[in-house]
């Protein structure tokens, strides 16, 4: 298992019962810019025996992704108390994890791996030999 997938699994394992997170939300928490698809691939590749609550990860609009286990995902979420509206959408403000307040605090700081180098633009190292 790759370190990246292990990080994704660790984040998804922290999602409490009865709460949901989006693929993009997991990607942000993992420090992956635009990594929602990577989160999907990781969850689809979860090794047997790895207890990852994959059903707690939804699309950013609060819907279940159409896939072979969509009905199972809805069943598990309902069993945890998550409610869908008549269009099949979960209210992210109500069931989202982390809460909107803590998500704002967490995503306002970039993880160390994403800190941009504030150094001056690249210049040749040795300008004394230029004639």
pLDDT given for residue 67 in this prediction: 81
Please say whether the beta carbons of 43 and 21 come within 8 A: no
Nearest to 12 by CA among 34, 40, 33, 37: 40
Region of 18 on the Ramachandran plot (φ > 0 left; ψ -120 to 50 alpha; else beta): left
pLDDT at residue 126, rounded to an integer? 42
- pLDDT-derived band at 101 (thresholds 50, 70, 90) equals very low
**Chain mean position to CA 60:** 10
- For 37-58, what is the mean pLDDT? 94
**Band of residue 78 on the pLDDT scale cut at 50, 70, 90:** very high
């Amino acid at each position: 298992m790759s370190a990246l997938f292990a990080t994704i699994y660790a984040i998804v394992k922290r999602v409490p019962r009865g709460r949901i997170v989006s693929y993009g939300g997991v990607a942000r928490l993992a420090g992956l810019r635009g990594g929602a698809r990577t989160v999907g691939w990781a969850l689809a590749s979860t090794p047997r025996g790895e207890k990852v609550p994959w059903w707690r990860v939804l699309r950013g609009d609060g819907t279940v992704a159409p896939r072979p286990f969509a009905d199972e995902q809805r069943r598990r979420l309902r069993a945890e108390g998550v409610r869908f509206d008549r269009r099949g959408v979960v209210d992210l403000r109500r069931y989202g994890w982390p809460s909107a307040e803590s998500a704002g605090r967490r995503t306002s700081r970039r993880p160390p791996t994403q800190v941009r180098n504030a150094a001056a633009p690249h210049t040749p190292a040795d300008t004394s030999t230029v004639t």
